[in-house]
Amino acid sequence: MAEYLRRVNRDRGINHEPTAPYPPGSSTNIQSGSGEYAASSSSETSLNGPKVSDDVESLYLTSDPLIADFARGALGLQNQKRRLLRKVVYHLMAERRCMQGELERLEQENSQAQKTVTHTLLEAEKYRSKTVKLKEIIQNMKQEQNKECQNILEKSIHIQNIKRDHDKELETLRNEVVTIKNKLVLAYAAIFFMLLVLILIEESYKKKSAFKSD
């Protein structure tokens, strides 16, 4: 477009020096038929520094007021777009910083959660080891108790057998005592009977002696 304007001005015999009342780099507002536009020295095409488009800047090379006014309006629109884009970029950068901070916070929480999970797993492993040891101790105690109960049962059976043998021996002794008592009674009866016989014999002998003496 700039080349076209240069060619038109050259055909008209117009000098290419900028004759617009507000050249690029000025800071003011221009009233035109299409509205109010701002041409500022802070016009930018990027966030790194001011830079004006060659096509728009070339419009200032014409002496046509309408074209120059259009150029200033177009430049103002470009500046507004750049400012909006810069605000959008700043907003996106702020959002990015917020998201980065949120990401760092989430990473810290994740790291803390991993530490907590690791600690919980270690504690669970400790409790599991203690539980296994406790089960082993309980199992050993049960085995020892079973052995002791078995020993007590065997001793009880042995004692019962001894008691039964003692009862048998006692019953035998009682029977022997009864037998001895019976034998003593018979012996006493025999002695008494023998004494009675002796007494009767002596009485009979005395009677015979007395009868002979008469």
Let me know if residue 174 belongs to a domain: no
How far CA 123 is from CA of 36, 120, 128, 132, 161, in Å, comes to: 74, 5, 8, 14, 56
Nearest to 53 by CA among 41, 43, 62: 43
Residue 87 in any domain: the answer is: yes
Counting the structural domains of the chain, the total is 1
User: According to the model, what pLDDT value does residue 75 have?
Assistant: 74
pLDDT computed for residue 123 by the predictor: 92
> Does a structural domain hold residue 191?
no
Mean pLDDT of the 138-143 span = 94
- Backbone phi, psi, residue 42, to 5°: -90, 20
Write down the residue that tokens 């016989």 correspond to.
197
Domain that holds residue 36: 2-105
> Which of 97-101, 202-206, 209-213 is least confident?
209-213
Q: Is residue 132 part of a domain?
A: no
Q: What is the pLDDT of residues 33-59, one digit of tens each?
A: 343 333 334 333 444 444 444 555 555
pLDDT digits 0-9 by tens, 148-180? 999 999 999 999 999 999 999 999 999 999 999
**Cα–chain-centroid distance for residue 139?**
29
Backbone φ/ψ region at 35: left (φ over 0), alpha (ψ -120 to 50), beta: left
Q: Is residue 196 part of a domain?
A: no
Residue 52 lies in a domain: yes
Q: Count other Cβ atoms within 10 Å, centred on residue 2.
A: 17
User: Please, which pLDDT band fits residue 1 given cuts at 50, 70 and 90?
Assistant: low
Q: Is the pLDDT of residue 67 over 90?
A: no
Residue given tokens 């009342």 in the structure block: 21
Nearest alpha carbon to residue 78 among 110, 108, 119, 50: 50
Mean pLDDT of the chain: 76
| Per-residue confidence (pLDDT) for residue 14, from 0 to 100 | 47
* Angle, CA of 58, 21 and 62, to the nearest 5°: 35
What phi, psi does 66 have (nearest 5°)? Answer: -65, -40
42 belongs to a structural domain: yes
pTM above 0.95, yes or no: no
Rg (CA), the chain: 70
- Reply yes or no on whether the pLDDT at 131 is more than 90: yes
Instruction: Confirm whether 22 is domain-assigned.
Output: yes
